[in-house]
Copies of this chain bind each other. A is one copy, B any other.
Amino acid sequence: MPALSDAALDQLFRTARSQNKWTDRPVTDDDLRALYDLLKFGPTSANCCPARFVFLRTAEGKERLRPALSKGNLNKTMTAPVVAVIGWDRRFYEKLGTLFPHEPSAPSWFNGSEASIHTNGFRNGTLQGAYLILAARAIGLDAAPMSGFDAAKAEAEFFPGGDVAVNFICGLGHGDPSGVFPRLPRLAFEEACTLG
């Protein structure tokens, strides 16, 4: 396969930025279905797909999140056309019979192993959260991922049964470039990578 075009690499990574202000342009339910229909194909271990998403599109829906938001993230979140609450299902392994059907013992891999459930659910649910960010950019949306909020409060509000752990939230919409901060530095290749 050839590399994607420079414009596509810019849109996904190089010039894409986390947003703080939004234009009025809406995010439609069709956009959200298109978003899921891409991100769902991102790989997870044993295809476990533990991420669960609540897409808050209405003023009432976003108000439910308000008490969990930190002051610094309040405005950009409440004004986002859609806010995704990204969680992971603490009972994700119960679906492995459907998701990994050639290995009927797969659900039993997690029997009584809280640590393994947490590690696998959190890891793979987070991978899927990253797929959401990049799939949003791929379909022309901007993203504003945030973990600076009260996850326990959000969990009690959106997943009161305790089956889903809240991971992070992500504003979705069309960003207003006037709200973007200067790009922060990144680690040099040599600081983050070793060749072996």
Contacts and interface: CB of A to CB of B under 8 A. Distances in A.
Given A123-B126, A126-B123, A47 B138 contact: no
Contacts of A134: 12, 42, 130-131, 134
A115 interface: no
Interface centre among A1, A55, A184 (most CB of B within 10 A): A1
B99 A187 contact: yes
- Assign chain A's interface to a size class: 35 or more
Interface string A38-79: 111111010101011111111001001000000000000000
A83 to B, nearest CB: 9
Nearest to A89: B192
B64 A189 contact: no
The 3 closest A-B pairs by CB, nearest first: A130-B130, A61-B196, A126-B126
Interface of A: 1-5, 8-9, 11-14, 16, 18, 29, 32-33, 36-43, 45, 47, 49, 51-58, 61, 64, 95, 98-101, 120, 122-123, 126-131, 133-135, 137-143, 145-148, 158, 167-168, 184-187, 189, 192-196
